[in-house]
Structures are given as C-alpha cells and as structure tokens.
Amino acid sequence: MKKPEQKIGTRTYLIYLLVGAALGLYYGLFYKHPGTPPSYLMAVILALVAAGVTVAVQYWKKKAPFRDMMKDFLRVFVIFAVFLVGLELRKVIFDEWGKTVVTIYTTTLGLVLGLIVAYQRHSVEEIGKR
C-alpha cells in the first residue's frame, strides 16, 4: 500500500523539476544582454534580504529556537544566492558562447534548483510524518 506515497513523492519531484526547467528556459529564451558587467555583490545582498524576509515571515509569531531560524535562513539564502548569482552569470556566458548556451545554462540551473527545492520539501514532509 505504500506505492501511492512513492508516486506522490515522484510527482512532487517531477513538478518541481518541470517548473524549474520552465523558469530557466524562460530566463534563457528572453534574455537580452544589458551591456553592464555582472554585479555579484548585488546578487548576494538581494539574496540576504530575500532570505531574511522569507524567514521573518515564516517564523512570524512562532516561538522557534534561534538555531532553527538560522538553519532555515542559511538554507533559503543559499537557494536565493545560487539563483541570483546564476542569473548574473548569464552575462558572462552570453559574451563567451551566445544565446543558445545561455538558454541551456538557465534551463539546467532551473532543473537543479527545482530538484533542490523538491528534495527539501520531500524531506520536510518525511519529517512531518514521523
């Protein structure tokens, strides 16, 4: 009787992978080089702000241990930082190899991030079942 649970897990992964790939494909197909150099510092600052806001909203009115909040902050920060720095790398990739490689790169980036988010969600659901 555990097959339906396994299918739900597989479906979850597939949905996140497809959404990630679709977003990556969009970011690659409709990319227009702005003519400015990559700003990795701004990407990291925005990731810090986004992670801070995300964790603040998530733990609003909850009395959770500071360690749990920091763990979630770091996890969310890494995801946002990889995504935003990855988007900044499009400029370098576009200059070196062109739009086709940018599209392949952003689609792959979306797949990887979708897989990471699906894995984290699946892990959280497994912990909740215990």
Task: Express each pLDDT in 63-113 by its tens digit.
Answer: 889 999 999 999 999 999 999 999 999 999 999 999 999 999 999 999 999
AA identity, residue 71: K
The band of 119, judged by pLDDT with boundaries at 50, 70 and 90, is: confident
Phi and psi at residue 69, to the nearest 5°: -65, -40
- Of 105, 91, 87, 95, nearest to 43 (Cα)? 87
Q: What is the pLDDT of residue 1?
A: 47
3-state secondary structure of 15: helix
Give every CB contact of residue 81 below 8 A, 6+ residues apart in sequence: 43, 44, 47
Q: Which two tokens stand for residue 28?
A: 């690659």
Contact in structure between 37 and 91 (CB atoms under 8 Å): yes
Contact in structure between 85 and 44 (CB atoms under 8 Å): yes
* Backbone region of residue 109 per phi and psi (left: phi > 0; alpha: psi in -120 to 50; beta: other values): alpha
In terms of Cβ atoms closer than 10 Å to its own Cβ (0-12, 13-18, 19+), residue 109 is buried
Task: Express each pLDDT in 10-40 by its tens digit.
Answer: 888 899 999 999 999 999 999 999 999 999 9
Contact in structure between 48 and 77 (CB atoms under 8 Å): yes
Q: Is the pLDDT of residue 122 over 60?
A: yes
Q: Is the pLDDT of residue 5 over 60?
A: no
Sequence ranges of the domains in the chain: 3-129
- What pTM was estimated for this model as a whole? 0.83
